[in-house]
Amino acid sequence: MTVSIGVTGATGRMGGEVLAAAADRDDLSVAFAVSRSPGDEVEGVAVEDAADFADLLASHDPDAVVDFTGPASCIEYASACAEAGVAFVTGTTGLSEGGFDALREAASEAPVLYASNFSRGIAALRRAVREAVPALDGYDIELTETHHNAKRDAPSGTALTILDDIDDVRGDSERVHGREGEAPRSEGEVGVHARRAGDIAGEHEVLLAGNHESLSLTHRAGSRGVFAAGALDAAAWLADRDAGWYDFTEVLE
Ligand SMILES: NC(=O)C1=CN([C@@H]2O[C@H](COP(=O)(O)OP(=O)(O)OC[C@H]3O[C@@H](n4cnc5c(N)ncnc54)[C@H](OP(=O)(O)O)[C@@H]3O)[C@@H](O)[C@H]2O)C=CC1
Ligand SMILES: O=C(O)C1=N[C@H](C(=O)O)C[C@H](O)C1
């Protein structure tokens, strides 16, 4: 069975990657793509007006929508999908707590899958972090993420997910963002550093140090294609699920 998808943010970096990755797959077809600036084709797909999103859902009835946009638009697209009962996969980061609440509300009417990172490598890094942190009790932890110079949110959504993983396994810790002037470490804090440069697709390093040794767990995305491929795997997996909140780790099981 071919799973048909709608793609939002078609003129964005990830929107283009998703359309390119979808063109290479036999199990998926693109029902429509939307943008706030419709007109030109992206990856051979006509780009329609984002203002017509609800109508496009009704007329094309896609199995899933794949969204990499911005926090406000993500919620609008999710609500429209919930109303239409269409599965919604989103990798949009920078959502507020209220934004996550709205996304969870959408999940009461349609299947919703959010992941701050759709790479298998980050899924593996998260498992490694959850194992290393309790094994290295009392070690200092510093998290550094590096992204392209056009990224809006900081720290990255992936960094926030990893910080939550650390809190899960060793209890809530103080997060210290950057370091300047008289700023010694306090016990148990996690230092968080965000770098922005060039066209780096995404790097995350978790450094644990203590007891005259250090362990560095690092993931580097070679291109955005890895995120697009993971999001499409998620869309194919989510398409026929019941309404509810799903996680990318379930797709990988
Ligand atoms: N989870 C993951 O694995 C990954 C997540 N991301 C996240 O995906 C998101 C997009 O990243 P990226 O593609 O680099 O960003 P871009 O800025 O390149 O693209 C975002 C696109 O979203 C649309 N958009 C933005 N704001 C609005 C709005 N207010 N209303 C409607 N549409 C809007 C625009 O598309 P248009 O004008 O065509 O409508 C824009 O081009 C970010 O949150 C990023 O952190 C990125 C990579 C991987
Ligand atoms: O904006 C990006 O580019 C990325 N955003 C995601 C994040 O905020 O973690 C995932 C990936 O690192 C690329």
pLDDT tens-digit readout, 216-227 = 999 999 999 999
Indicate which residues carry an active-site annotation.
147, 151
pLDDT score, position 39: 83
Domain 120-220 CATH class label = alpha beta
For a pocket test of ligand 2, which of 93, 120, 160 has the largest count of ligand atoms closer than 8 A to its C-beta?
93
pLDDT score, position 55: 98
What distance in angstroms lies between residue 208's CA and the mean position of ligand 2's atoms?
A: 22
Mean pLDDT of 199-226: 98
Ligand 1 nearest atom to the CA of residue 115, by list position: 1
What distance in angstroms lies between residue 224's CA and the mean position of ligand 2's atoms?
A: 9
| Fold of domain 3-118+224-252 | Rossmann fold (3.40.50)
Contacts for 113 with CB less than 8 Å, ≥ 6 apart: 87, 88, 89, 90, 234, 238, 245, 246, 247, 248, 251
The Cα 123–Cα 162 span in angstroms is 10
Give the CA-trace dihedral at 157, 226, 144, 154, to 10 degrees. -30
Chain mean position to CA 244? 18
Mean pLDDT of 54-58: 98
Q: Is 91 annotated as a binding residue?
A: yes
If pLDDT is split at 50, 70 and 90, which confidence band does 76 have? very high
Instruction: Note the ligand closest to the C-alpha atom of 51.
Output: 1
The domain limits of the chain are: 3-118+224-252, 120-220
Q: What is the mean pLDDT of the chain?
A: 97
Residue nearest ligand 2's atom 4 by CA: 202
Per residue in 82-129, pLDDT tens?
999 999 999 999 999 999 999 999 999 999 999 999 999 999 999 999
**Which residue's structure tokens are 């965000």?**
194
Ligand 2 nearest atom to the CA of residue 153, by list position: 8
Q: Residue 231 pLDDT > 90, yes or no?
A: yes
Q: Is 11 annotated as a binding residue?
A: yes
Helix (H/G/I), strand (E/B), else coil: 169: helix
What distance in angstroms lies between residue 1's CA and the mean position of ligand 2's atoms?
A: 31
Per residue in 172-190, pLDDT tens?
999 999 999 999 999 999 9
Q: Is 10 annotated as a binding residue?
A: yes
If pLDDT is split at 50, 70 and 90, which confidence band does 40 have? confident
Instruction: Note the ligand closest to the C-alpha atom of 114.
Output: 1
Q: Is 14 annotated as a binding residue?
A: yes
Mean pLDDT of 226-238: 98
pLDDT score, position 187: 92
Contacts for 26 with CB less than 8 Å, ≥ 6 apart: 2
If pLDDT is split at 50, 70 and 90, which confidence band does 1 have? confident
Q: Residue 163 pLDDT > 90, yes or no?
A: yes
